[in-house]
Amino acid sequence: MKKCTWALSSPNEEHYHDHEWGVPVHDDRLLFEFLILEGAQAGLSWSTILNKRNGYKQAFDNFDAETVAGYDDQKINALLANPAIVRNKLKVNAAVTNAQAFLKVQREFANFDSYIWQFVGGKPLRNARKTHADIPASTPESDAMSKDLKQRGFKFVGSTICYAYMQATGMVNDHTVDCFRYGQI
């Protein structure tokens, strides 16, 4: 069974590829989770973040945005001492800031799902990439998403991070056309 080449690096990445990557997500908790994880990934490999995902779930109260939005200095310091996550002060602080901004978007749009999916017209963009090299780092849609998120106070949401977020949450199908998941999603 043919798979995207990036998924063959480790069993963890292969499982993620086979079961999650590119599957449309409409659950606000999971959308928030990916927002935090993609921001944490900046400058690191996705494999690193996948290996720490369970640590993130525990450290960030199962990605409950309301709880994360209320983190105080004591909680932030505890997170910065936690080896189960990436201990980067800017990224940890951004998670709290993003939780606060996330809640504002939920109030404005009734849910984050309605807001974020508008950048692809409410349905996944189905690409037809032949190789991993054909996949861009960003697109006009991720540029627009990044710009709007930044205006709303989000951090670690550059266009490349937004495009990775779109791929992870199924807003775009970037499985290569020869991958068995391409036709399933």
* Active site members: 16, 38, 46
175 is in an annotated binding site: yes
What type of residue sits at position 143?
Answer: D
- 41 touches 25 (CB < 8 A): no
In angstroms, how far is CA 65 from the centroid of its own chain?
14
Residues 148/101, Cβ–Cβ less than 8 Å: no
CA distance 169 to 143: 17
Q: Residue type for 69, please?
A: A
Burial 21-37 (b: 16+ CB within 10 A, else e): bbeebeebebbbbbbbb
* Alpha helices by DSSP H, the chain: 11-19, 28-41, 46-59, 65-69, 73-80, 89-109, 112-116, 140-151, 159-168, 180-184
| 162 is an annotated ligand-binding site residue | no
Known binding residues for Zn(2+) are: 4, 17, 175, 179
Residue ranges of the annotated binding site are 4, 17, 175, 179
